[in-house]
Amino acid sequence: MSPSETAVIVVITLWFAALGGCFGSLLNVLVYRLPRGQSIVYPPSSCPKCGQAIAWYDNIPIFGWLLLLGRCRWCRAPISIRYPIVEAVVTLQWTAVFLLLLAVQHQQSNGEWIDAVRALYERQSPLLNHGAIGIVFALYWLTGSILIKLDGQRIPRTWLCAGLVAIAVWIVFAVWVT
């Protein structure tokens, strides 16, 4: 593999990792607010102790918590380590699924990594891409469900219905593509 091919794969992998971190951050919001019947949009994230809104630059997945040393910028109250752990888990899930997808596509292509990346980008394997999206969603939904139950909360109907509808759509699409 040439250095430019390696660079392309590294950049795309980092992109998926960053996207996974953002979705991990969203999962923290969903898991906390949905069972309590709160809006997932408003009010913005805030310190549970002093109520001060968390700035966007302090809310960067994983890094925001690390830079603040796990404490609120304003009152220095501890912020649970669960937040960066959930973000890291979802980041790893997304990255692993992408790398698995890339490896499968590489095996199906003519053995060139850049051709595998190109095939993914050009969506030459819709069932494979669709399968990866389904796996990522299923892991996300399952992770969220586990976290809600670990909090001792009932899983909200909206969470269950959204998951079941998405799974049904995923199955219908998979059947339609094949």
HSE-CB at 152 with a 13 A cutoff on CA atoms is 0
Q: Are 64 and 28 in contact (CB under 8 A)?
A: no
More confident residue, 57 or 110: 57
Structure confidence at residue 113 as a pLDDT band (50, 70, 90): confident
Judged against a pLDDT cut of 80, whether residue 111 lies above it is answered with no
pTM (global) more than 0.85: yes
Structure confidence at residue 178 as a pLDDT band (50, 70, 90): low
Which whole number is the average pLDDT over 103-123?
82
Peptide bond before 43: cis, by omega within 30 degrees of 0? yes
Structure confidence at residue 127 as a pLDDT band (50, 70, 90): low
Tens of pLDDT, residues 10-29 = 999 999 999 999 999 999 99
The H or E element that residue 166 is part of is helix 157-177
